[in-house]
Amino acid sequence: MNTRQLLKGVTLSLTATFLFSLPSFGQEVKPTPQDYNVVESLEKVFESVAEKVKPAVVNISTVSEVKFKHPPIPPEFRDFFFHFGIPFPFDNMPDEFKTKSLGSGFIVKVKNGWAYILTNNHVIDKATKIKVKLSDGSIYKAKVVGKDPKTDIALIKIKIGNKKVPTVELGDSDNIKVGEFVIAVGNPYGLNWTVTHGIVSAKGRHGLGLNPIENFIQTDAAINPGNSGGPLCDIHGKVIGINTAIVRNAQGLGFAVPINIAQKVMNDLLKYGKVIRGWLGVYIEDLSPEIAKKFGVKKGVLVTKVVKDSPAEKGGLRSGDIIVEFNGKPVKNVSDLQLKVINTKPGEKVKVKIIRDGQKKVLTIKIGEMPGSKQVAMENLLSKYGFSVQKLTPELKKRIGIPKWIKDGLIVTTVKPGSPADDAGLKEGDVIVKAGTTPRSMEIMRSVDDLLSIIKKANGSGVLLKVVRGENVIFLVLTSEE
């Protein structure tokens, strides 16, 4: 007998007990041994999940530095305090302050001495220090592998060497049903490794304004501040979601990112260093009942605008079209189409069934790559080195006074103090003209992608840079902290 059958038996047994053992007024209730056996069986299911999942759940603590600019103080204002012999109150105002926060995460993979942890992006976003506490009490400094603000997912890692650490088992969030039991594990209010349970209240929740991409699992399992990033599990102990959000001033309303979405983000970050998403290039909205009735459809989305030179325009989509199928699958609503598109590999040709002027048509559209992915990749890959770059344009060359003999290159726009880039000697205004893993493999840097490719090839072993600084040419070796 599997767990689902056991829970069904529990429900039937408890119902029968209530109906046929209903006491008369004033009569003492006497549970039978069978009643206790049924309840104890249910308890064992929750105990089993807790024992299986808790060791792989971690406590994440972060420190963030918030910097701010003081407004200019007029001299006469300062003189006013000086005249009355009062110390000027704004001289000791700090230029920055630190904030601390807590969250949760869970170990999903161990490879080459590193333990990889899934959590929420908002848990570690803008953090200058990230510490991870394991269930055995050991504490590690974490590094960011990559993050995806669109889904609020982040992947971090800790160096564990040969230490054995437990990992969770990932489930399939597409197959969960409304009404199923779920168990949430996390660190609410700093109360480490807290376990709560409830049911799946709804699926596919969107339009909440929490993330750009929303397809939440809604649950009534208790989720509180500090639970963010922790796992939401089924009764077999498989992770089906990442606890993400709560609704303020509401009870029994919690939301989790489906694990299938998080797993796709994780795999892309590990393989490509960025999240690869398909792009159609349309503005869409859900069908109103009136429009749906007029066109004789039950489900679909209305195209309100087509982006110029987008895959949609090239494929023949027009404003006013109703998309009812995408690659042979029905389109339910805006969120459904968005997920179908972003999970399609760029370059793939898909069949899109539409209704135009009351007639059904099938268009063949070649999916593109979502704009902005390259910028996200630069942030993810270069964040560990502590600097950023920009392609050298004729306007920049003229404005900054770059030597005329430099045709191509990347200008360094920021260098974070104390970072690997700073340690290597890189400075703002430097122009990177060549890069490679060895002197012979050095390539001309014509785009940011060129540098990202070299960094990816180096895999932390070090990147040799040819840099122009003023009229001088220097060579620097850039290594990560790993």
- Residue 465 is which amino acid? L
Active-site residue, 21 included: no
CB 247, CB 253: distance < 8 Å: yes
CA distance 405 to 431: 12
Closest CA to 423 of 376, 384, 375: 384
What are residue 143's DSSP bridge partners? 157
Look up tokens 């990147």; give the residue. 463
**Which residue out of 228, 335, 419, 480 is catalytically annotated?**
228
**Which residue out of 61, 104, 122, 234 is catalytically annotated?**
122
CA distance 219 to 195: 14
Q: Which positions ≥6 away from 54 have C-beta within 8 Å?
A: 135, 185, 193, 195
**Which residue out of 148, 152, 321, 450 is catalytically annotated?**
152
Residue 168 DSSP one-character state: -
Active-site residue, 83 included: no
- Look at strands 181-186 and 139-148 and give their pairing: unpaired
Phi and psi angles of residue 52, each rounded to the nearest 5 degrees, phi first: -75, -40
Q: Which positions ≥6 away from 260 have C-beta within 8 Å?
A: 172, 173, 174
Helix (H, G, I), strand (E, B) or coil at 281: coil
Helix (H, G, I), strand (E, B) or coil at 197: strand
Q: How far is CA 353 from CA 174, 177, 278, 350, 468, in A?
A: 24, 28, 18, 10, 54
DSSP per residue over 371-435, as a string?
TTHHHHHHHHHHTTTTEEEEE--HHHHHHHT--TT--S-EEEEEE-TTSHHHHHT--TT-EEEEE
Instruction: Tell whether residue 419 is among the known ligand binding residues.
Output: no
Estimate to the nearest angstrom the gap between the alpha carbon of 289 and the chain centroid.
34
Instruction: Tell whether residue 228 is among the known ligand binding residues.
Output: yes
CA distance 17 to 33: 12
Instruction: Tell whether residue 197 is among the known ligand binding residues.
Output: no
CB 229, CB 242: distance < 8 Å: yes
Numbered residues of the known binding site for substrate: 122, 152, 226-228
Q: Which residues are catalytic?
A: 122, 152, 228
